[in-house]
Amino acid sequence: MINALKWIWKELLFISVLIIYFIAAFLIISGFYLFFTGQKTLGDTVLILAAAVASLSVVYLAEQIRVAGEQEQVKRSYEYFARYNSEAFKETTTEACAFIRDGGKTKDKKMDILINRKNPQYKTIRPIISLYFNFFEDMAILYNRKLLNRELIRSFFKSISLSIYNDGKDCIDKLRVDANSTTLFKEWEKMNEDFNIKKIRGER
């Protein structure tokens, strides 16, 4: 239903632009025609042409706003690329993934490290996992609100996000229980649902 409404809205905008161009073209042609046939004075013709320019400027302004919005989306997306690839965050990524995918630890042992404050590793591991998961949750909030360039984000983060969410599902569930929150990392989950639906370039 929402997608249908979005499609209708885009079509209406497209039709509106065509109508504005048609009106502008009509005003310009009729303005010159009326002037050269002596039906309008130069002053009247200038007013007609000014109206045509004004209608075209509305379309130009709307296009500039759209382009500026898209550029801001791209800028924010590249900021997430830079943040994820930074030397400081690479250490977090390495340690978080090593813990989540550590086959040498049982599930119960991992969960104890994650939520038991008395566990010696709690103070080291819990902040790293939280920081890593919060990165995706933070990015997902903007992604779900279309404040990022979705194609760029999917092309870089799709496989990373899906795999770490799947591998870390037990940790996510445990953190939700520990925080007594059913909405924790829900934005990330929603973003992954979109990732699963939409393919990236070269993906079959």
> Three-state DSSP class for 57?
helix
Residue 68 has pLDDT above 60, yes or no: yes
pLDDT (tens digit per residue) in 126-139: 999 999 999 999 99
Q: Which residues contact 49 (CB under 8 A, 6 or more apart)?
A: 27, 28, 31
- What is the tens place of the pLDDT at every residue in 6-23? 556 556 555 665 666 666
The residue that leads in pLDDT, 51 or 152, is: 152
Confidence grade of residue 39 (pLDDT, cut at 50, 70, 90): low
Q: What is the largest CA-CA distance in the chain?
A: 94
Task: Please tell me the total number of residues recorded for the chain in this structure.
Answer: 204
Q: Please state whether the predicted TM-score (pTM) of the whole model is above 0.75.
A: no
Domain ranges (residues) in the chain? 2-70, 86-197
Higher pLDDT, 44 or 104: 104
